[in-house]
Structures are given as C-alpha cells and as structure tokens.
Amino acid sequence: MDRLTGVGAMRGIELAHADGTPASAQLTQLLALAREAGLLLMPSGKSRHIIRLLAPLTTEPAVLKEGLDILEACLAQLA
C-alpha cells in the first residue's frame, strides 16, 4: 500500500511498489482474491492501481466489518 486518498465518504487505497510505481498487477490479483471470497471491489486510477471504497450510508456495521475483514485477509495474501 502506498497512500490513502478520499473526499467525504469515498476513499481510495493506492497500491504501489517500493519505488512508487503503480502496482496494477497486484491490484488485479487482489480483485480476483476478493471476488473469490465474496467481496466485489472497484478499481480506479489511470493505472488501475487504486481500490475505490464507497459504502452506502445504510450499510449495517456487521456487514461493513465482514467486508473489511475480507479485504484485510486478501491484502495479507498479497504480502
């Protein structure tokens, strides 16, 4: 992970290599891992290296936690 971005409720998690170049291949892998685990993520950015997060305001806390847990586990698999 490189940096977190966002405005209001919309957030982005930027994936980058140690030298700062976009980690597009890793994001593609992350999207596949998350999809297999039941979580749909939206890529963003010119280089398709940012995960866009924008949960509905009506999301139940338990559902949000479940999604974040899946995302955390998928990110751990990339490391």
Q: Which domains does the chain have, with CATH numbers?
A: 4-78 (3.90.1150.10)
Q: What is the pLDDT of residues 51-73, one digit of tens each?
A: 999 989 999 999 999 999 999 99
Helix (H) or strand (E) holding 24: helix 24-36
**Where are any strands of DSSP class E within the chain?**
4-7, 10-14, 42-44, 50-53
How many helices and strands, by DSSP H and E, does the chain display?
2, 4
Rg (the chain; Cα; Å):
12
Q: What pLDDT is recorded for position 9?
A: 87
State which residues of the chain have pLDDT below 70: none
Q: What pLDDT is recorded for position 75?
A: 93
Q: What pLDDT is recorded for position 16?
A: 93
